[in-house]
Structure 1
Amino acid sequence: MAQPFSVDAVVWDMDGTLVDSEPLHERVFYATCRRHGVDLSDLDAGVFVGVHQYDVWNAVAHRFPPTVSREAWLADLDAEYVADQGSLTAMPDAQRIVSTLHAAGMKQACATNSAGVVVAANLMTLDILPFLQATVTLDDVKEGKPAPEPYARACTLLGVAPERAVAIEDSITGLMAARAAGLHTIGFASNHHIAAKPEFHVLADRVIHRLDEVLSLVTMPAAAR
């Protein structure tokens, strides 16, 4: 059996890790593009899992007429996501795992590539805000994942060294960001298409298939013992 990580903090990804939001992101992506007269049905939305909105726009902007700005497109994406936030559900056991770690004295944060309004919608669904010491959104950083800044900032806000923290991620870009920032990494195989890629297993120190496996992979902080 693998040795658990001896850490003082857990930094969670959000979309696809704590909240089952990828189906909504995918619907919003295609619907918003269609409203602007752009058909992107030839693209597999899975290629954008874990990719922040600015990079998504850079990948598809050449298909849009010049009258559509990045800012207008992003605003439409966020507005449609929030309007349908009632369809969001938490990943199984997400709230229980986060609250259990909190009760044991573990510092926790979220580091996500989503904008603040999307994060607020997700947090309303999850009901975990009282258990988090920090949240880092795309609005809080100069560079989103796969750059290390979101995870580095989360560790700074928590007051822990990166090597004393573990990141839990469902995407390759997220795992890249966490490793670049110096955190241990747990890959959550919630998206079978992503988890089947060799890079996922190279970047993840451990791979889990259920969130409750996290509890056996981290030791509680010394202060809690």
Structure 2
Amino acid sequence: MEDARFAAEAVVWDVDGTLIDSEPLHERVFYATCRRHGVDLSDLDAGVFVGVHQYDVWEAVAHRFPPHVDRDAWLADLDAEYLADQGSLAAMPDALAVVQALDAAGIRQACASNSGAAVVAANLATLGILPYLAATVTLDDVANGKPAPDPYARACMLLGVSPERAVAVEDSITGLMAARAAGLRTIGFAANPHIAGKPEFRALADRLIQRLDELPALVATAPAA
């Protein structure tokens, strides 16, 4: 029987919604910040900006804001409110244990996030996984965020691993698009029903998992090139 596992040297993790249950906080902060500026976004579909980086979110909603509000001020407001409530963050079930299991199996790990450096630092501090990461890539480290391949391409470069020998774990369509564009194989973490039920999500994922503890059985250590 053909081995259903990926032979890989590295796993590159998305962070928000994959390793940490941060999407509810991102959503609360987003709508609260917009309301403070008198902007009503109640007409938008739930989960419309999951996996979308902040610059693209601003481009989508900027026309609703009064002229005196610019992107940088809005982004600073978002980060400040997120960090003020970072105590409400929690790891996804089994996140730390899975990261530790992959490390014990000799698989190198990195994260490639669509969030800025301050938010990623807060998330990783909550998770307690920094000792197991060989590289961290944030939106501040690349010219283009997901769905562009830049975050995953940079993560593989920092790891010293060719993309075809790495696996990405993602909970969003934009993230899966980025990973595939960079040449990684993809595991879709079906944590968000608004996203995981979409045909695009399933089409972009080489494998689907419902729980993170399913991951170690799908990834086998590949011999170094």
TM-score (norm: length of structure 1): 0.97
Report deviation, 1:220.
2.2
Indicate the SS of the match to 2:151: helix
Report deviation, 1:222.
3.5
**In structure 2, what is the equivalent of residue 55 of structure 1?**
56
For residues 53-132 of structure 1, the aligned pairs below 5 Å read 53-132=54-133
Aligned pair in 2 of structure 1 residues 2, 62: CA closer, same or farther (>3 Å)?
farther
For residues 161-180 of structure 1, the aligned pairs below 5 Å read 161-180=162-181
For residues 179-218 of structure 1, the aligned pairs below 5 Å read 179-218=180-219
Distance in 2 (alpha carbons) for counterparts of 1:98 and 1:23:
23
**In structure 2, what is the equivalent of residue 136 of structure 1?**
137
Report deviation, 1:105.
1.2
Indicate the SS of the match to 2:216: helix
Cα deviations by residue, 1:170-207 (Å, 9 ceiling, x for unpaired): 00000000000000000000001100000111100000
Contact 2:150 2:178 survives alignment (8 Å):
yes
Aligned pair in 2 of structure 1 residues 108, 139: CA closer, same or farther (>3 Å)?
same
Distance in 2 (alpha carbons) for counterparts of 1:37 and 1:81:
19
**In structure 1, what is the equivalent of residue 154 of structure 2?**
153
Distance in 2 (alpha carbons) for counterparts of 1:104 and 1:206:
20
Q: Which runs of 5+ in 2 are unaligned?
A: none
Distance in 2 (alpha carbons) for counterparts of 1:97 and 1:11:
13
Runs of 4+ with >3 A deviation: none
Indicate the SS of the match to 1:46: coil
Distance in 2 (alpha carbons) for counterparts of 1:201 and 1:26:
24
Report deviation, 1:130.
0.3
Report deviation, 1:36.
1.1
**In structure 1, what is the equivalent of residue 15 of structure 2?**
14
Aligned-pair RMSD on alpha carbons? 1.1
Report deviation, 1:22.
0.4
Aligned residue identity for 2:5? P
Contact 2:9 2:107 survives alignment (8 Å):
yes
Cα deviations by residue, 1:91-129 (Å, 9 ceiling, x for unpaired): 000001001111221110000100001001101110000
Contact 1:10 1:168 survives alignment (8 Å):
yes
Contact 1:169 1:175 survives alignment (8 Å):
yes
Q: Which runs of 5+ in 1 are unaligned?
A: none
Percent identity over paired residues:
77
Report deviation, 1:44.
2.5
Report deviation, 1:45.
4.2
Aligned residue identity for 2:11? V
Distance in 2 (alpha carbons) for counterparts of 1:191 and 1:125:
21
Indicate the SS of the match to 1:16: coil
Contact 2:46 2:194 survives alignment (8 Å):
no
Distance in 2 (alpha carbons) for counterparts of 1:128 and 1:190:
20
**In structure 2, what is the equivalent of residue 44 of structure 1?**
45
